[in-house]
Amino acid sequence: MAIDFNASDRPTLGVEWELQLVDRHTRHLRQEAQQVLGELPELSETEENPPLRHELMQCTVEVVTGICETVDEAKADLAGTIGSMARALDPRDIALMCAGTHPLDDWRDQTLSPVQRYGELIDQMQWLARRILTFGVHVHVGVRSRDKAIPMVNALANYLPHFLALTASSPFWSGHDTGLASSRSIVFGALPTAGPPPHLPHWAAFEEYMETLLRAGTISSIKEVWWDVRPHPDFGTIEIRMFDGIPTLREVGMAAALSQSLVRLFDQQLDRGYGLPNPPSWVVADNKWRATRYGLDARVITDEHGTTVPLRDDLYELVRELQPIAARLGCADDLDVVSEVLDKGASYERQRAVIDQGGTLNDVVDLLAAEFRAEGAVPDSGAPAAGPGGPGRDDDAGGDAGHDHTPRDRGPSHAGT
């Protein structure tokens, strides 16, 4: 089975940001994505790949960039779309926020989006799909050759704990602390075609594997393969899907800068004939679990003999290694946000600090909404206000699955994102 890879001639960027629709008074999720998108046809209906889209649940909207050259361009694209949403959100008293899960709400209280493919997904996956009340950020980076794609996927699998720990934002599930940095990683990772990418030696092996899955009926399209890092043949990209829902535009820029810089580094190393990181599958899986459980406090395995180092130390070293590349790409300041997160705490730490200081999960929602609003991504039209609802209410299928996430092609067309 031949699979064409529409290679990009440069490391272009595309970003997908899955956002929660939250009632400003009750702090619970609002099932109104269909109404919001319906009031914004210029964002949701006017292009083949619109910037604003449905997700699996009605409590979620996905904001998607066009093909971007730089991290700054991607951030501006996201901010522009979000700013344009205010006229549909403000009259409904809906705020936007993002985290890997909603701290309070239960998946059983959510409404499925009225899209046929979502119904088909639920029918196929049943409970596994029904409970995906999760939200994530996906970053596409253009790759110059299909022959580079699989070595890059293998190499990027070495950094799953780095991607996850920096953005882990889902310590709470249905009103309870899970003890994990990322409950989203567990919930979404339970899908049969999710999780770390399998170790494949080259593109031909990828083609053969996809053909086998199709023949077996495991998938009906290669777009149903939701690995934590995957090649996207149609757009000539590597798609990094390991990031939890990210609360701030600044941290989204960090994730994009880290992704673009790593892909650029690997591209240069392959051109020079160097081998890329190629960790064994058991190391990849174990390290992902360590970041899921402990976040930035994890110790990650660095070799086949079980040697470990603090993830924080490894991240500081990684930033130093990538700084010259990030500077050439114009995203050095965005990459430096990694150091700020290490110093000031990732989202899961910031959320738990609210509880440790005597706050409630209502206050955690307020924190997330305030963080999202503070950077000017949306007009400051009001935060969630005190009201009913809170921990213990019996009330992402959110974002990470259900359709193929494809950054839009706006402006001069080229394959790559």
* Burial of 29 (C-beta count, 10 Å sphere; 0-12/13-18/19+): buried
pLDDT band at 401 (very low <50, low <70, confident <90, very high): low
Please report, for residues 116, 132, 298, 335, the alpha-carbon distance to residue 123 in angstroms, rounded to integers and kept in the order given.
Answer: 11, 14, 37, 41
Counting the structural domains of the chain, the total is: 1
Q: Which residue in the block uniquely carries the two structure tokens 């409950």?
A: 183
Distance CA 245, CA 51 (A): 18
108 pLDDT above the threshold of 60: yes
DSSP state letter for 37: H
Average pLDDT over residues 246-265: 98
pLDDT band at 388 (very low <50, low <70, confident <90, very high): very low
List, for residues 187-242, the tens digit of each pLDDT value: 999 999 999 999 999 999 999 999 999 999 999 999 899 999 999 999 999 999 99
Phi-psi region of 82 (alpha: psi -120 to 50; beta: other; left: phi over 0): alpha
397 pLDDT above the threshold of 50: no
Q: Does a structural domain hold residue 406? A: no
Q: Does a structural domain hold residue 405? A: no
pLDDT at 98: 98
Strand 136-142 to 13-23 pairing: antiparallel
Nearest CA-CA partner of 395 in 19, 96, 102, 104: 104
Q: Does a structural domain hold residue 395? A: no
Distance CA 353, CA 417 (A): 38
Instruction: Name residue 352's amino acid.
Output: R
Q: Does a structural domain hold residue 379? A: no
List, for residues 121-169, the tens digit of each pLDDT value: 888 899 999 999 999 999 999 999 999 999 999 999 999 999 999 999 9
Instruction: Name residue 414's amino acid.
Output: H
Residues 6 or more apart from 379 whose CB is under 8 A from it? 83, 86
Phi-psi region of 118 (alpha: psi -120 to 50; beta: other; left: phi over 0): alpha
pLDDT at 389: 31
pLDDT band at 112 (very low <50, low <70, confident <90, very high): confident
Which CATH number belongs to the domain containing residue 264 in this structure?
A: 3.30.590.20
pLDDT at 47: 67
17, containing H or E segment:
strand 13-23
Q: Does a structural domain hold residue 278? A: yes
pLDDT at 356: 98
Q: Does a structural domain hold residue 97? A: yes
20 pLDDT above the threshold of 60: yes
Q: Does a structural domain hold residue 411? A: no
pLDDT band at 116 (very low <50, low <70, confident <90, very high): confident
Say if CB 171 and CB 351 are below 8 A apart.
yes
Domain residues for the domain of 209 are 13-374
Strand 194-195 to 226-227 pairing: parallel
pLDDT at 94: 97
Q: Does a structural domain hold residue 31? A: yes
Nearest CA-CA partner of 161 in 266, 99, 74, 240: 240
Say if CB 155 and CB 278 are below 8 A apart.
yes
